[in-house]
Amino acid sequence: MLTFLLLVSLAATQGTPVLQSPIHDENGPVKDLYQVDDMIFTAKEYREEVLGVTNSREKRQWTFKNLRTWSQNGNVVPYRFAEGFDEEWKHLVARAVDEWQRKTCITFRPAVASETYVIEFFHGTGCNSPVGMHSLNRISLEYPGCGTHSVILREIGHSLGMGNEHQHPEQERYLSVQYQNIEERLRQRYRPISATSVETHGTSYDPYSIMHYEAGPTDRPSMVMKDRTLQNVVGRQTSLSVGDANFIRITHGCSGHSGFSCPEDFGYYPDGSDGCTGFYQCVWRKASHFDCPCDTLVRNNAAVCQNQQRFDPNLNVCNHAENVPCVTAERKKETGKEEKEIGKEKKETGQGKTQN
């Protein structure tokens, strides 16, 4: 897993990335903002962080210290929607925000006017996000092309500080980039980043990351996976991987935390909010979120999870769904209300019999 700002230090050894903008928002061109792939930079950031040039004209090697994370804002991410943002898409954003919040220690909440650091979603050109934390992170979700759960998860991931997973320093161990099948102007998006230029925080390459590119069509792939079973899997995930969530927890100083409050020092607890397919593992009251396995199929160019197992709280293991009755948190609330109503009726009936 790569830190996002560090990801972009391609440096001269990998060739100069193509400056693709200035970018545009709903009001037209944005002065001094530039785009490389789906990463947005100021002119100064582009010069120093992408080209690796400082005022002294020396190459600049990025370290994690150069990335501002939301830990500097108490791991709280205030967000809002620009005027005119589609009402239905607000629900799509809320769903993605909920997944990030549920699986990490980041707290998302509606922004207020006095907030200094804010994420704002708007319908701009393309799907893109600023790098790291800024006073205003404007995430562009172009209508209608950027309205999928995986795209929104990915752009939020960029704002949280994540890089493109296929550019991992150990790329050549896991995949081979087919540059002859990639337009020359796009090739820099696939080049691996030097291990001396990035901070991986001890995490390894994750083919299931939401931040991974697709391998491309069978007859003209942009990447060929060393493990061919992953050829139609990478870049087609529709939810955060365990590695995605762990990386954000590590980079935000809350490794082992998932936002779940452990009732005891150790134990396994079902996540009733996700259809009973996830669970929390508590170690010294620090919780990590996991998803039960499933059969991954490719349908309409997307990885589809079928026959997903459910967490069995009686055995503390993932089990076949037919063997585990699922009661979600919402259903528990409804069941509780129903039981209260039944109890109330019984009480009233009993009182009526006594009176008779």
Give tens-digit pLDDT for 273-322.
656 777 877 877 777 777 777 765 555 544 456 777 888 888 888 888 88
What pLDDT does residue 96 have?
93
Where b means 16+ CB within 10 Å and e means fewer, 65-74 reads ebbebbbebe
What pLDDT does residue 241 have?
87
For residue 53, pLDDT beyond 50: no
What pLDDT does residue 265 have?
83
Strands 33-36 and 317-319: unpaired
What pLDDT does residue 22 have?
44
Give how far Cα 274 sits from Cα of 21, 245, 279, 311, 333, Å: 40, 16, 9, 11, 15
What pLDDT does residue 40 have?
60
Inside any domain, residue 152 = yes
For residue 244, pLDDT beyond 60: yes
Inside any domain, residue 280 = no
Number of domains in the chain: 1
Average pLDDT for residues 194-211, to the nearest whole number?
A: 82
Inside any domain, residue 316 = no
pLDDT in tens, 113-168: 889 899 999 999 889 988 788 888 999 999 988 999 999 999 999 899 888 899 88
Q: DSSP string spanning 238-252?
A: -S--HHHHHHHHHHT
- Which tokens go with 272? 């009733």
What pLDDT does residue 55 have?
38
187 Cβ contact partners less than 8 Å away, ≥ 6 residues apart:
15, 179
Whether the CB-CB separation of 23 and 40 falls below 8 Å is answered with yes
Angle at 318 between CA 312 and CA 321, to 5 degrees: 75
Inside any domain, residue 8 = yes
- Residues tagged active-site: 155
Q: What percent of the chain has pLDDT over 90?
A: 31
Average pLDDT for residues 59-74, to the nearest whole number?
A: 59
User: In whole angstroms, what separates CA 227 from the centre of its chain?
Assistant: 24
What pLDDT does residue 39 have?
57
| pLDDT band, very low/low/confident/very high, at 230 (cuts 50, 70, 90) | very high
Candidates 52, 33, 31; CA nearest to 42 is 33
Q: What percent of the chain has pLDDT over 70?
A: 67
What pLDDT does residue 258 have?
56
| pLDDT band, very low/low/confident/very high, at 175 (cuts 50, 70, 90) | very high
- Of the candidate ranges 183-192, 319-328, 339-348, the one whose mean pLDDT is the lowest: 339-348
Print the domain residue range for 66.
4-162
Q: DSSP string spanning 150-203?
A: HHHHHHHHHHHTB--GGG-TTHHHHEEE-GGGS-GGGGGGTSPPPTTT---TTP
Inside any domain, residue 59 = yes
Angle at 342 between CA 274 and CA 346, to 5 degrees: 160
Inside any domain, residue 259 = no
User: In whole angstroms, what separates CA 165 from the centre of its chain?
Assistant: 12
| pLDDT band, very low/low/confident/very high, at 52 (cuts 50, 70, 90) | very low
**Averaged pLDDT of the chain:** 75
Average pLDDT for residues 17-24, to the nearest whole number?
A: 42
Of 44 and 88, the structure prediction assigns the larger pLDDT to 88
Inside any domain, residue 264 = no
Inside any domain, residue 40 = yes
Q: DSSP string spanning 9-23?
A: --TGGG-PPP-----
| pLDDT band, very low/low/confident/very high, at 263 (cuts 50, 70, 90) | confident
For residue 240, pLDDT beyond 80: yes
| pLDDT band, very low/low/confident/very high, at 51 (cuts 50, 70, 90) | very low
Whether the CB-CB separation of 192 and 171 falls below 8 Å is answered with yes
Supply the CATH number for residue 148's domain. Answer: 3.40.390
